Amino acid sequence: MFLIKFFNSSICLCCDSTFSKYPPRLPRSVQALRAGPSTMSFLVSSEQVIHFSFNLHIDTVQFSSKIYSMKVKRTIDTKIKEFLTKKTTDNILFIWGPRRSGKTTLLQKFAKEMKAPIFNFDFISDRQRFVPTEDSLRKLAQENEIIFIDEIQNYPAATVPIKILNDVYKIKVVATGSSELRQKAGEDFDTMAGRFQEIYCLPLSTKEIYNHEHVNIHDKGLFERNLVKNLSMFGAYPEVYLSKSSESYKIKRLEKIIETYVLKDIIDIYNLKNIKLAKDILTKVALQLGSEVSVREIANSLQANMGTVTSYIEIFIKNYILIPLPSFKTNARKAVSENRKLYFYDLGIRNALIKDFREIELRPDAGGLWENLVVIEFEKMKKINGLLQTHYFYREYGGKEVDFIIEDYKKNYTCVEIKKSKGKIRTIFPLPHKSKVITKDNFVEEFV
């Protein structure tokens, strides 16, 4: 049993020794809630989610029931472990990714294993502890060989003490956050060039889910059908995909992720002025899934400035909400598209924005959903495995199109047709290339 007691305005978590040493990160909103019934979920360790109900009119709150297994081995686990245990010239590791994708869970897991401290830069108190003074850094280095930092983009000035810890004390640092830190820290980040590695923690991949489910040959067909159904409806954020709760609960979690993390956090971090405009822009993009997106049309429909719309879209891209897919250009005059397509990193977020959670077979936008699902997996494969690829689509006059093009660092091309069922491969791409077709029948095979 777990208890929370309120003393004045503070929160005291009473639990076992493991959780006392590595406490869960409560949502920011908890401190503001002082009355009325509420329900929420949060991580209590690297392996569990507890969903609980409570009423803040009383002084003691008892947790209830639903504990969900989070024992999903992430692909990047091995890379993090290698960084922590092997000698390397790059003593700084950045883990980039969106909120709620599992970065904090990974940090808690490895901090517990390495008996190392975590600085959570969501909290001012942790930022104040991490100051670039000689005494504080020397003390930190004397007590630890490794330190962990969560949400580093909230404190760009931390790049200075991180550099000192690396250069002077040879301390290893693992930090999570948004890659927007590069721009926010400016020259201070540039001075770390050659000192760091970077990897990505994104919502669950098909390969991670497949390995987690331990699919056997007899269940493979059923697994594939359910996987496509669930990913296209609710996406792959761990707390949503792994939940055994009702569909309505999953929808509420997705709405919470949008309001608290996708929108509010981004508005706060970037000092944006209009949270409604940000949501409206994202919704407009969601309604154009699989089509080329015109910033001018979005701006006109919302009576907004084109520059503002462009800025918001770029922020969503940098924070792993949107995936840009540009048009491939050659000298051939047939390639006509100037706009790019925008897909979502998670279809649960997309569906929550447009308030449509029907199964893919019942959707008028089924083609766009299926395209997006395949684009997500290629993007995850590229980022998680560090593949040197660039992705495009290609369209000619007359509307003929190649759905997805992979260009590697040697300018080798693979044209991908994304179809509901097997069909003829188009040969309109003007350069030498390989071709493949991805359907629901070979989707899992392609990405595991």
Superfamily holding 77-200: P-loop containing nucleotide triphosphate hydrolases (3.40.50.300)
What percent of the chain shows pLDDT beyond 90?
58
**Residue 182 pLDDT class (50, 70, 90 cuts):** low
Indicate whether 258 pLDDT > 90.
yes
Judge whether residue 19 has pLDDT over 50.
Answer: no
Q: What is the percent of the chain with per-residue pLDDT over 70, rounded to a whole number?
A: 80
Going through 304-410 in order, the beta strands assigned E by DSSP cover 322-325, 340-344, 389-395, 401-408
From 213-217, 251-255, 372-376, the region with the lowest mean pLDDT: 213-217
The mean pLDDT of 104-131, rounded to a whole number, is: 92
> Mind listing the pLDDT tens digit for each residue in 266-306?
887 788 878 999 999 999 999 999 999 999 999 999 999 99
Nearest-CA neighbor of 374 among 323, 425, 412?
Answer: 323
Which range, 68-72, 125-129, 182-186, 398-402, has the best average confidence (pLDDT)? 125-129
What is the pLDDT, as a whole number, of residue 370? Answer: 96
pLDDT tens digits, 423-433: 777 778 999 99
Amino acid at position 359, single letter: E
pTM over 0.75, yes/no: yes
Indicate if the pLDDT at residue 56 is higher than 60.
Answer: no
In the chain, where the domains are located: 3-69, 77-200, 208-447
CA distance 212 to 215: 8
Q: Report how far residue 91's alpha carbon sits from residue 101's, in angstroms, rounded to the nearest whole number.
A: 24
pLDDT at 61 over 70: no
Q: 40: closest CA among 184, 239, 180, 323? A: 239
Pairing mode, strands 413-418 and 434-438 = parallel
Banded pLDDT at 60 (limits 50, 70, 90): very low
Whole-Å CA distances, 201 to 83, 146, 384, 411:
15, 20, 7, 27
Q: How far apart are CA 388 and CA 382, in angstroms?
A: 7
Q: What is the dihedral of CA 55, 58, 59, 65, to 10 degrees?
A: -40
Q: What digits encode the pLDDT tens for the residues 348-374? A: 999 999 999 999 999 999 999 999 999
Sign of CA dihedral 85, 87, 91, 94: negative
Provide, for the chain, the percentages of residues in helix, strand and coil under a 3-state DSSP scheme, each rounded to the nearest 5: 45, 20, 35
Give the SS3 label for residue 4.
strand
Q: What's the mean pLDDT when you consider all of the chain?
A: 82
What's the pLDDT band for 183 if we cut at 50, 70, 90?
low
End-to-end CA distance of the chain: 39
Between 380 and 7, name the one with better pLDDT: 380
Torsion of CA 430, 433, 437, 442, to 10 degrees: -160
Query: Identity (one letter) of the amino acid at 110?
Result: F
Report the sign of the C-alpha dihedral through residues 317, 242, 374, 234, in that order. Answer: negative
Q: What integer is the mean pLDDT of 124-144? A: 89
